[in-house]
């Protein structure tokens, strides 16, 4: 601690580069160790990254708070939110540029494993960012000393010591997340793909604000009696809500009655949510993926023949490649790629689908015979997909009754409340469609040479550019339509994982499916940090293998 003061006083009023003397240095304080992992080049450059390590005999977190993985993740999430909130209070202007700033990774409403906080039986470690003070690019040593020894020391004490936290809030946070994870793990044995608890608040404040709509405006979710399930949770006891069964499920209803709102909640149910979000007990199987048309995306070597064949000019759809996919070919490829990556539930909204891919009614079939139509619509494959591969589908539709012929369950949204219309549909005597086979799913072998992450020889580049783009080598990967990537840290982690598979896995022999399984195993066993291209990252968040696969498949030239 004294040594740090000496250095800051020595470099006071020197050029900003003198701060580099702190780089890779470790300083012992009375209650924690402080590490300077990265020093910014100037007050306007990306901030300095620091790391603090607190012994557990000082932090004093009880064993029950991290006794298993899900409790540990919940505790780390809670601590990151405490650190993030309080860092704004202790951050103050201490010069030019970022001088005096203190900030951490910004979490969303979801609870994810992140690299910013780690806790075990011995230590609690937190990684965050600061702006080292200067004026006129001259070091303000006194300001830096006050920042470290007063602001940061207090931030650590009030955010990361158990005795200074509200135990009731921490316990609620951990137990809520544990119950949600337990609920999700029960879905398969209950024959469900999703559960929406009674009282859930599904609408959000706006399209750009993921917080819940004001409770005075929002209509709490209530399950229809026919679909109501009661499940016993380990911490909070019995909970009631709508269980959505496996198979082909339609969500119908008039415009603006909540169909898409329900689907968005279902697609976000792959994540656990913080208490107060309104979706704490809206849980969906982890292997659920949102499918949509994606005009203009590239497709490389995908067998889309289950949906599309006999194209003009004898294009081989068993090994389909294009730099500019149509709506139908992109949606077909998205489904095949999802299956290849292990999807078990497809989530589809007709509003973002290609019409000619979704349906082809009897009148159109009579005008254009099947042997002249290269597209086999999804309606002909949705039941074989479940029968042959046990992959369910939840489809939002309001403009066509064709899918009523293949549905196992029909949910009608009326004024944001669900009604079970399954029995009513059966009474209509709608003729069921015949069932065939889905077709084979072939896994591809990617060529290592097509995934080089080097921007130039010896210079690797792999990072997120905002939430919806990844910079990989000389290329930009557009992931704006991969809707279930929800945090910047996930995009960054996926970029790092792409470098990982290039360096360690790709050998022109392993299939995509084999690569996915290895990456998923690494993620589960070692955590997201194992993919990092830099030591001690402070900004990575766990991702799903489905979202990793969708990013990989969007690399042009793969």
Tell me, yes or no, whether 401 lies in a domain.
yes
Residue 267 lies in a domain: no
Residue 359 counted as domain residue: yes
62, 163 contact by CB (below 8 A): no
Task: Answer yes or no: do 416 and 302 share one domain.
Answer: yes
43 is a domain residue: yes
Please write the tens of the pLDDT for every residue from 64-80.
Answer: 999 999 999 999 999 99
Q: Which residues contact 378 (CB under 8 A, 6 or more apart)?
A: 307, 331, 335, 348, 357, 358, 359
Range of the domain at 96: 2-165
The reply to whether 344 and 421 lie within a common domain is yes
The beta strand positions in 292-403, using DSSP E, are 299-302, 320-322, 345-349, 392-396
Q: Tell me the C-alpha distance between 103 and 400, whole Å.
A: 50
CB contact at 8 A, 549 and 516: yes
Radius of gyration of the chain (CA): 26
Distance CA 46, CA 35 (A): 17
Number of domains in the chain: 3
HSE-up (13 A, CA, CB side) for residue 480:
7
Same domain, 379 and 490: no
Of the candidates 93, 77, 94, 75, which has an alpha carbon nearest to the alpha carbon of residue 85? 77
- Residues 541 and 419 reside in one and the same domain: no
Spell out the SS3 assignment of 120-150.
CCCEEEEEEEECCCEECCEECHHHHHHHHHH
Same domain, 68 and 142: yes
**Do the strands 345-349 and 392-396 form a parallel or antiparallel pair, or are they unpaired?**
parallel
Cα–Cα distance, 167 to 206 (Å, whole number):
32
Are 30 and 144 within one domain?
yes
Shared domain check, 408 and 359: yes
The answer to whether residue 190 sits within a structural domain is no
Do 403 and 303 reside in the same domain of the chain?
yes
Q: Which residues of the chain have pLDDT under 70?
A: 434
Residue-level pLDDT at 97: 96
Nearest to 71 by CA among 234, 216, 295: 234
| Domain end call among 165, 189, 218 | 165
Reduce the secondary structure of 409-451 to three states and give it as a string. Answer: EEEEEECCEEEECHHHHHHCCCCCCCCCCCCCCCCCCCCHHHH
The answer to whether residues 151 and 92 touch, using CB atoms and an 8 Å cutoff, is yes
Residue 302's contacts (CB-CB under 8 Å, 6 or more residues apart) are 319, 320, 321, 333, 336, 337, 444, 553
Is residue 268 included in any domain, yes or no? no
Residue 245 domain-assigned? no
pLDDT tens-digit readout, 382-439:
999 999 999 999 999 988 889 999 999 999 999 999 999 999 998 887 777 767 899 9
Residue 70 and residue 105 share a domain: yes
End-of-domain residue from the set 113, 134, 165: 165
How far is 334 from 551, CA to CA, in rounded Å? 11
What is the reported pTM? 0.96
pLDDT value of residue 434: 67
Distance CA 265, CA 283 (A): 9
Are 423 and 482 in the same domain?
Answer: no
- 88-122 burial, b if ≥16 CB within 10 A, otherwise e? eebbeebbbbbbbbbbbbebbbbbbbbbbbbbeee
Q: For residue 501, report the phi and psi dihedrals to the nearest 5 degrees.
A: -70, -30
Q: Indicate whether 23 and 154 sit together in one domain.
A: yes
CA–CA distances in Å: residue 246 to residues 250, 472, 508: 12, 38, 37
275 domain residue, yes or no? no
Q: Give dist(CA 286, CA 193) in Å, integer.
A: 9
Domain boundary (114, 139, 165) is at: 165
The answer to whether residues 412 and 518 belong to one domain is no
């Amino acid at each position: 601690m004294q040594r740090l003061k000496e250095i800051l006083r020595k470099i006071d009023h020197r050029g900003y580069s003198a701060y580099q003397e702190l780089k890779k240095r470790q300083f012992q304080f009375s209650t924690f160790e402080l590490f300077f992992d990265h020093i910014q080049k100037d007050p306007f450059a990306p901030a300095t990254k620091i790391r603090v390590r607190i012994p557990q005999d000082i932090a004093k977190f009880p064993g029950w708070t991290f006794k298993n993985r899900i409790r540990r993740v919940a505790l780390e999430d809670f601590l990151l939110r405490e650190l993030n909130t309080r860092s704004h209070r202790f951050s103050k202007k201490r010069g030019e540029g970022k001088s005096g700033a203190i900030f951490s990774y910004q979490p969303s409403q979801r609870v994810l494993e992140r690299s910013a906080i780690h806790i075990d039986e011995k230590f609690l470690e937190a990684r965050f960012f600061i702006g080292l003070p200067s004026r006129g690019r001259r070091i303000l040593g006194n300001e830096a000393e006050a920042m470290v020894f007063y602001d940061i020391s207090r931030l650590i004490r009030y955010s990361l010591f158990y005795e200074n936290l509200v135990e009731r809030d921490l316990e609620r946070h951990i137990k809520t997340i544990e119950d949600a994870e337990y609920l999700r793990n029960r879905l398969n044995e209950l024959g469900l793909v999703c559960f929406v608890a009674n009282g859930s608040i599904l609408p959000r404040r706006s399209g750009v604000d993921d917080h819940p709509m004001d409770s005075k405006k929002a209509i709490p979710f209530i399950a229809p009696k026919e679909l109501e399930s009661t499940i016993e949770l380990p911490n909070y006891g019995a909970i009631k809500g709508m269980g959505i069964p496996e198979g082909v499920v339609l969500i119908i209803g008039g415009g603006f009655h909540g169909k898409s709102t329900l689907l968005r909640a279902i697609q976000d149910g792959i994540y656990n949510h913080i208490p107060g979000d309104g979706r704490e007990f809206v849980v969906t199987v982890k292997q659920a993926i949102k499918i949509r048309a994606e005009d203009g995306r590239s497709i490389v070597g995908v067998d889309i023949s289950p949906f599309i064949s006999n194209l003009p000019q004898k294009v081989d759809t068993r090994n389909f490649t294009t730099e500019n996919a149509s709506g139908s070919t992109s949606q077909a490829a998205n489904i095949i790629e999802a299956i290849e990556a292990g999807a078990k539930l497809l989530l589809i909204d007709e509003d973002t689908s290609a019409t000619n891919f979704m349906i082809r009614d009897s009148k159109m079939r009579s005008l254009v015979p099947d042997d002249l139509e290269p597209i086999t619509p999804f309606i002909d494959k949705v039941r074989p997909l479940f029968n042959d591969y046990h992959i369910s589908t939840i489809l939002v539709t309001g403009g066509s009754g064709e899918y009523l012929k293949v549905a196992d369950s029909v949910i009608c949204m009326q004024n944001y409340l669900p009604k079970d219309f399954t029995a009513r549909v059966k009474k209509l005597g709608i003729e069921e469609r015949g069932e065939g086979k889905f077709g084979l799913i072939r896994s591809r072998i990617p060529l290592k040479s097509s995934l080089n992450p080097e921007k130039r020889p010896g210079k690797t580049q792999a990072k997120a550019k905002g939430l919806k783009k990844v910079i990989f080598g000389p290329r930009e990967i557009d992931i704006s339509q991969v809707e279930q990537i929800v945090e910047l840290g996930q995009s960054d982690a996926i970029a790092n994982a792409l470098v990982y598979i290039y360096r360690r896995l790709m050998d022109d022999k392993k299939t995509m499916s084999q690569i996915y399984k290895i990456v998923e195993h690494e993620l589960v066993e070692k955590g997201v940090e194992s993919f990092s291209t830099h030591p001690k990252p402070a900004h990575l968040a766990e991702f799903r293998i489905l979202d990793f696969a969708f990013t990989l498949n969007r690399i042009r030239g793969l």
